[in-house]
């Protein structure tokens, strides 16, 4: 009647997956303490070229906006694929809902286009 013994392998897996990151981070910390941090180790590496300027620079917001628009339309295809695969079973109401979903995304695309989020210059 009691099903807990059937979960023994799950609890062992849970124990291992909880212990393994702690072990890996501990080993990493020990190895980091052993290695010396000289001036060469603290500089940034740029393809063998001596770094110029500060490593902390500000990026323009347009890169993030471009990536955000890409992610939004990438997620659109992820949501539309299962709908397209089961289109014959869903009927007219699902078709109308998909049209509303696509319409909202097109409005977002027009908004991003007019704000200049898609220009890379």
Same domain, 72 and 34: no
Average pLDDT taken over every residue of the chain: 81
12-15-16 Cα angle (round to 5) = 90
What is the tally of structural domains in the chain? 2
pLDDT at 55 over 70: no
Residues in a beta bridge with 49: 46
Within a 13 Å sphere around the CA of 25, how many CA atoms are in the beta-carbon half? 5
Q: Which structural domain, as residue segments, surrounds residue 21?
A: 4-42
SS3 category, 44: coil
pLDDT at 32 over 90: no
- Provide the H-helix boundaries in 1-121: 8-34, 39-42, 61-85, 87-90, 92-115
The per-residue pLDDT for 109 is 83
Mean pLDDT for the stretch of residues 57-79? 79
pTM, rounded to two decimals: 0.46
Residue 77 resides in a domain:
yes
């Amino acid at each position: 009647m009691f099903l807990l013994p059937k979960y023994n392998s799950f609890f062992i897996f849970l124990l291992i997956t909880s212990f393994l990151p702690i072990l890996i981070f501990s080993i990493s910390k020990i190895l980091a303490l052993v290695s010396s941090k000289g001036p060469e180790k603290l500089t940034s590496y740029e393809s063998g070229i001596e770094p110029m300027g500060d490593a902390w620079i500000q990026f323009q917001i347009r890169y993030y906006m471009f990536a955000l628009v890409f992610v939004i339309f990438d997620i659109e295809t992820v949501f539309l694929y299962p709908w397209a695969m089961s289109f014959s079973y869903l009927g007219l109401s699902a078709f109308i809902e998909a049209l509303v979903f696509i319409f909202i995304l097109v409005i977002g695309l027009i908004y991003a286009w007019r704000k200049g989020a898609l220009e890379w210059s």
